[in-house]
Structure 1
Amino acid sequence: MWKRIQVCPRMRIKYTIFFVFVVALVIIEKENNIISRRNILVCVFRRVSDKLTPRQTPQTPLQASVVASAGASPRNESRLPLPGLDPGLPRHMKRRLENFTEQAEPERLPSWGRKHILLLATTRTGSSFVGEFFNQQGGNMFYLFEPLWHVERALTLETGGTNATAAAPAYRDVLQGLFLCDFTPLEGFIDPPPVDHVTPALFRRESSSSLCDEPVCGPVAKGVFERYRCRTRRCGPLNLTAASESCRRKEHRAIKSVRVRQLETLRPLAEDPRLDVKFIQLVRDPRAVLASRMVAFAAKYKNWKRWAVDGEVPADDDEVRKLKGNCDNIRLSAEVGLKQPEWLRDRYMLVRYEDIARFPMRKATEMYQFAGIPFTSKVKEWILKNTQASKEVSGVYSTQKNSSEQVEKWRFSIPFKLAQVVQKVCGPTMKLFGYKFAESKEMLMDKSISLIAEKNFS
Structure 2
Amino acid sequence: MKHLQQRGIQITGRLFKKATGDLRDWQNPLRSRLYKRIKAQLHPRMRIKYTISIVFFLALVIIEKENNIISRVSDKLTLKQTPQTPLQQNGLSSILLKNNGSLASLSKINSAFTLMMRRLENYSEHQEVLTNGRKHILLLATTRTGSSFVGEFFNQQGDNMFYLFEPLWHVEKMLTLDTGGTNATAATKAYRDVLQKLFLCDFSLLESFIEPLPVDHVTPGLFRRESSSSLCTESVCSPFVKGVFERYHCRTRRCGPLNLTMASQACLQKKHRAIKSVRVRQLDTLRPLVEDPRLDVKFIQLVRDPRAVLASRMVAFAAKYENWKQWAVDGDVPIDDDEVRKLKGNCDNIRLSAETGLKQPPWLRRRYMLVRYEDIARFPMRKAAEMYRFTGIPFTSQVKSWILKNTQASKEASGVYSTQKNSSEQVEKWRFTLPFKIAQVVQKVCGPTLKLFGYKLVHSEEMLTDKSISLIEDKVFNFV
Q: TM-score, normalised by structure 1?
A: 0.77
Q: For residues 327-338 of structure 1, what are the structure 2 equivalents within 5 Å?
A: 327-338=347-358
How far off is 1:302 after superposition? 1.6
Q: Deviations over 1:398-425 (max 9, x none)?
A: 0000000000000000000000000000
Aligned equivalents of 1:227, 1:176: Cα separation in 2: 27
Aligned equivalents of 2:173, 2:429: Cα separation in 1: 32
Q: Deviations over 1:38-61 (max 9, x none)?
A: xxxx99xx85534599xxxxxxxx
Q: For residues 29-178 of structure 1, what are the structure 2 equivalents within 5 Å?
A: 49-50=71-72, 110-178=130-198
How far off is 1:275 after superposition? 0.1
User: Which residue in the other structure is 1:373 paired with?
Assistant: 393
Q: For residues 386-397 of structure 1, what are the structure 2 equivalents within 5 Å?
A: 386-397=406-417
The reply on whether 1:424 has 2:444 as its aligned counterpart is yes
User: Which residue in the other structure is 2:336 paired with?
Assistant: 316
* Range moving further from structure 2, 237-246 or 223-232: 223-232
Q: For residues 226-305 of structure 1, what are the structure 2 equivalents within 5 Å?
A: 226-305=246-325
User: Does the aligned pair in 2 maintain the 1:109–1:273 contact within 8 Å?
Assistant: no
Aligned equivalents of 1:350, 1:378: Cα separation in 2: 24
Aligned equivalents of 1:222, 1:110: Cα separation in 2: 45
User: Does the aligned pair in 2 maintain the 1:51–1:272 contact within 8 Å?
Assistant: no
The reply on whether 1:182 has 2:202 as its aligned counterpart is yes
Question: What is the SS of the residue equivalent to 1:373?
Answer: coil
Q: Deviations over 1:362-412 (max 9, x none)?
A: 000000000000000000000000000000100000000000000000000
Aligned equivalents of 2:301, 2:162: Cα separation in 1: 19
Aligned equivalents of 2:260, 2:355: Cα separation in 1: 37
Structure 2 segments unaligned to the other structure (5+ residues): 1-60, 76-126
The reply on whether 1:224 has 2:267 as its aligned counterpart is no
User: Which residue in the other structure is 2:326 paired with?
Assistant: 306
Question: What is the SS of the residue equivalent to 2:131?
Answer: coil
Aligned equivalents of 2:181, 2:321: Cα separation in 1: 15
Aligned equivalents of 1:111, 1:149: Cα separation in 2: 27
RMSD, matched Cα: 1.9
User: Which residue in the other structure is 1:22 paired with?
Assistant: none
Q: TM-score, normalised by structure 2?
A: 0.74
Question: What is the SS of the residue equivalent to 1:202?
Answer: coil
User: Which residue in the other structure is 1:345 paired with?
Assistant: 365
Aligned residues: 363
How far off is 1:218 after superposition? 1.3
User: Does the aligned pair in 1 maintain the 2:406–2:421 contact within 8 Å?
Assistant: yes
How far off is 1:311 after superposition? 3.7
Aligned equivalents of 1:226, 1:218: Cα separation in 2: 13
User: Does the aligned pair in 1 maintain the 2:344–2:445 contact within 8 Å?
Assistant: yes
Matched AA of 1:186? L
User: Which residue in the other structure is 1:364 paired with?
Assistant: 384
User: Does the aligned pair in 1 maintain the 2:131–2:296 contact within 8 Å?
Assistant: no
Aligned equivalents of 1:319, 1:51: Cα separation in 2: 46
Q: Kindly tell me: are residues 348 and 108 of structure 1, through their superposed partners in 2, closer, same or farther at Cα, counting changes over 3 Å?
A: closer
Aligned equivalents of 1:362, 1:274: Cα separation in 2: 31
Aligned equivalents of 1:398, 1:361: Cα separation in 2: 19
Aligned equivalents of 1:364, 1:308: Cα separation in 2: 37
How far off is 1:112 after superposition? 2.4
